[in-house]
Amino acid sequence: MPNTVVTNPDTIPSSMQAIALIEPNEDIHLSDTQLPVPQCTGNELLVKVEYVGLNPVDAQFAKSGFCLWQYPHVLGLDAVGVVVKAGKGVFPGVGERVMWHASIGEQGVLSEYAKVPNYAVSIIPKQLASDKAATLPCAGMAALISLDKLSVTEGDTLFVEGGAGAVGQFAIQFAKQRGADVFTTASKRNHKLVKQLGADVVFDYNDKALCDKIRRELGPQGFDAVIDIMGGESTIQNIELMRFCGRIACLNPLPNFEQQLMYRRAPNISIVSLGGAWLANSLCAQQRMSFMGNLLLETVANGEITPPEVLAVDFNANAVSAALNKQLAGGFTGKQVVKIS
């Protein structure tokens, strides 16, 4: 292979252990399986995966499937690992530790090896632990895209729904860096955490008088901007809490809106979709994810941003199945991370 650089050809096996979805199912039952190690071409890197961060989207699609998937399908989108094979002259090269958010339309990263285009990865600073880096891609990028779409600037009032979740934790911290006044919701046990991250005002999301208390605290004008993390009926409630022509970034599918609400609030609605960068085949959007990854890695490595707590998950089908069910049940703080190798 004169045009390929390899760590040591003898150390890369022909097959690998992976965790796959045999078919979509409500119980999120996954299977341990052996698959061929991916073959790379052109500017693709072969990476020996070290850690995989789990996300709600992994669990949602394990239940419903995805239109582009063939089965068995390897789940997982957020990966950290070491490059073991790269084309000659392709950067980053063999031995570099990298992080990336993978394409939702292709095989995932819950496997011993994975391939990824070189322009979609970010190099991890030496001082940052790999498991910490695995908490960053999906949640951190979703928070950054949301803030950019909302054009959050100094003095804005921003409502971050579910501040103790991974997206919420990143959103609070980056919004405070931009000078926003941040309001958020969390369970009472997590009020201290989100306050430490920078939230100015915290409400108990279980409070039946939540909307009234927000209005009393904020005043009649409503929020300038909202990061809508939960979706569904809460999106309607969040729009009610916005000022006229306010901005909302939605991370989940939109509900059906009543026409009267749209006239009365005239919201500027933005959709946040990391998977869209791959599905639209947008090289610029994929490269932008790499740039956002660089920012996340740099700010965490420098201590400017605190990542979510790592919740370790074993690399076997039963453990990952249970962890994905936990993702949808919620009620935990931190980021579930699978140790692959």
pLDDT (tens place) for every residue of the chain, 341 residues total: 446 666 665 589 999 999 999 999 999 999 999 999 999 999 999 999 999 999 999 999 999 999 999 999 999 999 999 999 999 999 999 999 999 999 999 999 999 999 999 999 999 999 999 999 999 999 999 999 999 999 999 999 999 999 999 999 999 999 999 999 999 999 999 999 999 999 999 999 888 899 899 999 988 889 999 999 999 999 999 999 999 999 999 999 999 999 999 999 999 999 999 999 999 999 999 999 999 999 999 999 999 999 999 999 999 999 999 999 999 998 889 999 999 98
At 4 the pLDDT is 62
φ/ψ bin of 151: left (φ > 0), alpha (ψ from -120 to 50), beta (otherwise) = left
Q: Which of 224, 219, 228 is nearest to 247 (CA)?
A: 224
CA distance 108 to 122: 18
Tokens of 119: 């322009």
Q: Which of 10, 36, 29, 31 is nearest to 114 (CA)?
A: 36
At 121 the pLDDT is 97
CA distance 3 to 288: 28
Number of Cβ within a 10 Å radius of residue 220: 7
CA distance 339 to 153: 38
CA distance 326 to 312: 13
At 225 the pLDDT is 98
CA distance 12 to 263: 60
Number of Cβ within a 10 Å radius of residue 87: 18
Number of Cβ within a 10 Å radius of residue 53: 30
Cα Rg of the chain (Å, integer):
21
At 3 the pLDDT is 60
Residue 256: DSSP 8-state: P
Q: Tell me if 227 sits within 8 A of 161, measured CB to CB.
A: yes
Kind of pairing between the strands at 15-21 and 73-74: antiparallel
Tokens of 261: 């609400």
Phi, psi angle pair for 45, to nearest 5°: -105, 145
Residues 6+ apart with CB under 8 A from 267: 239, 242, 245, 246, 247, 248
In the chain the domains, ranked by start, together with CATH numbers, are: 4-135+275-339 (3.90.180.10), 142-271 (3.90.180.10)
* Residue 141 identity (one-letter amino acid): M
At 331 the pLDDT is 83
Q: Which of 100, 86, 15, 9 is nearest to 51 (CA)?
A: 100
Q: Which of 79, 78, 105 is nearest to 275 (CA)?
A: 105
CA distance 99 to 333: 22
